[in-house]
């Protein structure tokens, strides 16, 4: 396992990050099996673990805390996230509007809950899971800066922020003498390449670490999605139909690309999984893609990618199949700004027209 600097934090992380989203009710409910998977990754040289409060409503953090208890915490760069509602299931209506978001009120409350679930005194990287239009970025940065000064977190970052909001955050931090985002965690894979146009260049410009989520495109790049085969069924597909429903044109284009990429991997005598992970590692802005296994078998199938370097010919063929900057399906972007999702923001009141 190679190790890379995590932005400008001085922390060194393995070039694969173990994602814990599939540990708990969303994936593997057996805590002992999840702990085994985590320990196997650590034994293989992975020293970077990413989770979030919302994953299985705190259960994922609890499992990671169990796995690191007994002396392994000191050897791990531990990352978690906040933002999503914690009093109702994600996607369900209702709930207290103050039990979520990017406000100081919620951040200082939720960091304590995460520390307790993780059984640790500090979080190495505390991340804003999504932007929030109704909260001033200065409010968020100020709260995170204070948590770092208190020693509860070592660094902070963001996830799935558009390029313009990354720039605004850095400018705000400079003007207000606040800490700045050290990392960005965006969606990135061979078939979700939109961030190559703006987010990755901005991250490089500001010296940010980049930790891509879903480098296997939620399972599309495992080899299971092929033309002429029945579409795989999973809890994730049921929970996120916009990313998997083959009746949508964007997902049909993904299926075509995934099939051609699988053929390319076969021609290059490598697994599609290894090719997909090595692709993300080939970008100079990327620090470590997040692998999110649900089973030990899935983990083993991904670990070897850390040692693979793709040739220029293979990278050129990938570019031919999926042109740089291309994202086929809007559901893969991970975030829709209010300017697109809220019609009222695009229309003058009828009395003013």
Catalytic residue list: 55
**Side-chain half-sphere of 123: how many Cα atoms within 13 Å?**
31
**In the chain, which ranges are continuous DSSP H helix?**
31-43, 59-68, 104-118, 137-149, 163-176, 199-205, 235-239, 241-244, 249-267, 272-282, 296-303, 312-321, 338-341
Strand-strand pairing, 209-210 and 183-185 = parallel
Those residues whose C-beta lies under 8 Å from the C-beta of residue 25, and which sit 6 or more positions away, are 56, 57, 59
- Tell me, rounded to whole angstroms, the distance of Cα 130 from its chain centroid: 10
3-state secondary structure labels for all residues of 72-100: CHHHCEEEEEECCCCCCCCCCCCCCCCCC
Q: What is the DSSP letter of 124?
A: E
Token digits for 105? 């009120």
CA distances from 80 to 65, 105, 114, 271 (A): 12, 18, 8, 30
Alpha carbons 154 and 10: distance in angstroms, whole number: 11
Do residues 314 and 264 touch, judged by C-beta distance below 8 A?
Answer: yes
Strand-strand pairing, 12-14 and 3-5 = antiparallel
| Residue that has been written with the tokens 């990017």 in this structure | 102
- Tell me, rounded to whole angstroms, the distance of Cα 244 from its chain centroid: 18
């Amino acid at each position: 396992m190679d190790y890379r600097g995590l932005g400008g934090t001085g922390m060194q992380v393995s070039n694969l990050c173990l994602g814990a989203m599939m540990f708990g009710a969303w994936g593997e409910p057996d805590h002992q099996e999840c702990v085994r998977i985590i320990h196997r990754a650590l034994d293989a040289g992975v020293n970077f673990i990413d989770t979030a409060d919302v994953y299985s409503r705190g259960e994922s953090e609890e499992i990671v805390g169990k796995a690191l208890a007994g002396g392994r915490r000191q050897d791990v760069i531990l990352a978690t996230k906040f933002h999503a509602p914690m009093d109702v299931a994600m996607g369900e209506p209702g709930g207290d509007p103050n039990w979520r978001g990017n406000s100081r009120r919620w951040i200082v409350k939720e960091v304590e809950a995460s520390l307790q679930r993780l059984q640790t005194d500090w979080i190495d990287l505390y991340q804003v899971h999504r932007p929030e239009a109704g909260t001033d970025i200065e409010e968020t940065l100020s709260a995170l800066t204070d948590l770092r000064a208190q020693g509860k977190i070592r660094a902070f970052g963001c996830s799935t922020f558009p390029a313009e909001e990354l720039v605004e955050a850095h400018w705000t931090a400079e003007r207000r003498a606040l800490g700045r985002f050290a990392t960005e965690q965006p969606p990135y894979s061979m078939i979700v390449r939109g961030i190559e146009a703006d987010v990755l260049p901005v991250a490089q410009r500001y010296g940010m670490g980049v930790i891509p989520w879903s480098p296997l495109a939620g399972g599309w790049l495992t080899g299971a999605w092929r033309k002429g085969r029945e579409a795989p069924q999973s809890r994730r597909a049921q929970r996120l139909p916009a990313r998997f429903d083959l009746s949508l044109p964007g997902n049909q284009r993904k299926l075509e690309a995934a099939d051609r990429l699988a053929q390319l991997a076969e021609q290059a005598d490598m697994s599609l999984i290894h090719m997909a992970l090595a692709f993300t590692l080939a970008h100079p802005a990327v620090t470590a893609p997040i692998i999110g296994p649900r089973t030990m078998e899935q983990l083993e199938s991904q670990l070897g990618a850390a040692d693979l370097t793709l040739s220029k010919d293979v990278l050129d063929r990938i570019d031919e199949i999926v042109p740089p900057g291309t994202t086929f399906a809007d559901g893969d972007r991970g975030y829709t700004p209010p300017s697109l999702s809220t019609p009222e923001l695009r229309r003058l009141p009828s009395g003013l027209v």
